[in-house]
């Protein structure tokens, strides 16, 4: 059982790390601010989600697991809104402002 949990953790965390890699590649390669913003928020949030998912079996107790999930939800929600704010700033100032 423990081994199964560990395999699950390793695969989910690795997948999460891969998404972080993809986010950084997007940051490097995308041509303008709005697309870079898109790469940063969407992909990194998915990466964090997978890391949280992978760490769930390692959490001791239901409370810790719930806390992990709620942190992810907090990052997800605030990240979405902040992205909207930054995108608003991009629109106001132009991509090179």
Partner 1 sequence: MTSFLFGAAGFVLAMAALGLVVILRRPAEVDHMMAAQLLGTAGVAILLLLAAATETPPIVDVALLLALFAAFAAVAFVRSAPDRESEVSKATSDG
Partner 2 sequence: MTISSVFNIGLVVLILGIGASTIAAREAFAAVIAFVVYGLLLAIAWVRLSAVDVALTEAAIGGGMTGMLMLGAVARLRFAKGNDSPASLPARLAAGVLCAVIAAGLATAILVPPEVIPTLAPAVMDNLAQSGLGNPVAGVLFVYRALDTLLEKVVLLLALLGVWSLAPDSVWGGIPGLRVYAQPDRTLTFLAQLLPPVGIVVAIYMCWVGAKEPGGAFQGGTILAAMWLLVMIAGLQSVPSISQPWLRLLLVIGPMIFLAIGLAGFVLASAFLAYPSGYAKALIVAIEFALTLSIGVALGMLAAGPPERVQQP
Cα gap 51→15, rounded to integer Å: 8
List own/partner pairs for 36-42 with CB under 8 A and 24 or more apart: 37/83, 37/86, 37/87, 37/90, 41/79, 41/80, 41/83
- In the list partner 2, partner 1, none, the entry touching 84 (Cβ below 5 to 8 angstroms by class) is partner 2
By the rule CB under 8 A, 27 interacts with partner 1: yes
Binding mask 26-65 for partner 2 (x = CB under 8 A): ----------------------------------------
| Of the candidates 59, 41, 53, 42, the residue with the CA atom closest to the CA atom of residue 16 | 53
Cα gap 88→97, rounded to integer Å: 12
Stretch near partner 2 under the rule CB under 8 A, chosen from 2-10, 30-38, 44-52, 70-78: 70-78
Stretch near partner 2 under the rule CB under 8 A, chosen from 19-27, 32-40, 55-63, 80-88: 80-88
Residues that bind partner 2 (CB under 8 A): 74, 77-78, 81-82, 84-85, 88
């Amino acid at each position: 059982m423990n081994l199964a949990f560990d395999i699950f953790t390793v695969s989910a965390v690795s997948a999460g790390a891969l998404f972080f890699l993809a986010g950084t590649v997007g940051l490097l390669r995308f041509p303008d601010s709005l697309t870079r913003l898109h790469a940063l928020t969407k992909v990194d949030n998915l990466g964090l989600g997978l890391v949280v998912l992978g760490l769930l079996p390692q959490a001791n107790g239901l409370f810790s697991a719930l806390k992990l999930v709620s942190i992810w939800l907090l990052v997800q929600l605030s990240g979405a809104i902040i992205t909207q704010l930054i995108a608003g700033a991009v629109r106001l100032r132009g991509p090179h402002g």
